[in-house]
């Protein structure tokens, strides 16, 4: 118990609230910028895949939105099957 009280009262590693606020702000801004960049890169990659699929088989060209819709329909159907089983 004595150790816990001693650690609670210890102020040697104390940081100011302003320093913590600054650090939190920098980390949050970095996360926002990083996630925005990731979103843009993923959109560019999906566009490339869409163009590649359209170029390889023009008769069966499917947009990425249509593929996603089909995938969601399949997942919904399998989820219903799992619930009924």
Does position 12 have pLDDT exceeding 80, yes or no?
A: no
pLDDT of residue 85 exceeding 60: no
pLDDT recorded at residue 40: 93
What is the structure's pLDDT at 60?
61
Torsion angle in degrees (nearest 10) through CA of 34, 31, 65, 48:
10
Q: Give the pLDDT confidence score for residue 82 in this predicted structure.
A: 63
The CA–CA distances, whole Å, from 82 to 25, 69, 74, 76, 78 equal 45, 20, 12, 10, 6
Note the pTM of the prediction, 2 decimals.
Answer: 0.49
| Annotated domain spans of the chain | 17-84
Q: How do residues 20-63 score in pLDDT, each as one tens digit? A: 899 999 999 999 999 999 999 999 999 888 888 777 765 565 67
């Amino acid at each position: 118990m004595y150790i816990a009280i001693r650690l609670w009262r210890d102020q040697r590693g104390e940081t100011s609230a302003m320093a913590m606020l600054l650090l939190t702000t920098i980390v949050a801004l970095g996360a926002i910028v990083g996630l925005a960049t990731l979103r843009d890169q993923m959109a560019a990659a999906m566009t490339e895949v869409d163009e590649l699929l359209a170029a390889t088989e023009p008769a069966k060209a499917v947009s990425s939105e249509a593929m996603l819709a089909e995938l969601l329909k399949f997942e919904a159907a399998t989820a219903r099957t799992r619930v009924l089983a």
